[in-house]
Structure 1
Amino acid sequence: MSLFQAEAFGVGLKEGAKILLALLVVRTYLLNQNRKGLYRVVLFFLLLCLFISGASLFFPSTTETSAIVVKAVGYSFGLYYLLALALLYSASKGDIWGGLGPVMKGRVVQWFSAFLLSALFVIPDLSGSLLFIKGQALLKESSMPFVSMGAGFVLVVFAGYALLKERVRGLTALFELPQVVLFLALLKLLGGGTGGFAELTLIPAVQKGLMKLIHDIVHQTFVTIMVPDHPILKTTTWNFIGILFGERIALWLSLVVLFVPLLAFVLSYLNAPVEVPSTIEPASRRRKYKKEVKTRRLMRAVPVFVFMLFLLINWFSQRGEAISRLYNPEPRPVVAEKGRVVIPISAPDEDLRDGALHKYTVEIEGQSIRFLIVKREDGSLSVCLDACEICPPEGYAQGEGHLVCLYCRTPINIQSLGKAGGCNPIPLKALVTDRDIQIETSELLKKWQQVKTRQSRNILER
Structure 2
Amino acid sequence: MDILSKMLEALVITLREGIEAALVVGILLAYLRKTGREALTRYVLLGLGAAVLASILGAVLIQRYGLDPENEVLEGTVMFVAAGLVGSLVIWMWRTGRSVRQRLEGRLDTLVGPAGMTVGSRAALGVFAFAFLMVLREGVETVLFLAALSGTIGANPLYNALGGGLGLLLAFLFGYLLVQGSVRINLHRFFGITGVVLLILVGKLIAGGFHEFFEVGLIPSSPFWLEVVGLFTRETTSLLVLILLIALPGLCLAWDGWRMLPPTPVPETRAADRRKHLAGFRRARRWTVAAGTGALTISLVLGTFLAVQATRGYDPTPLKVVPVDGAIRLAFPEDEKIHKHVVDVEGVPVRFLLLKRKDGSVASAFDVCYICPAKGYFQDGEQLICKNCDAPINEATVGMTGGCNPIPLQANTDGSQVTVSMTELARGQDRFAKR
TM-score by length of 1: 0.46
Larger of the two Rg values belongs to structure: 2
TM-score (norm 2): 0.48
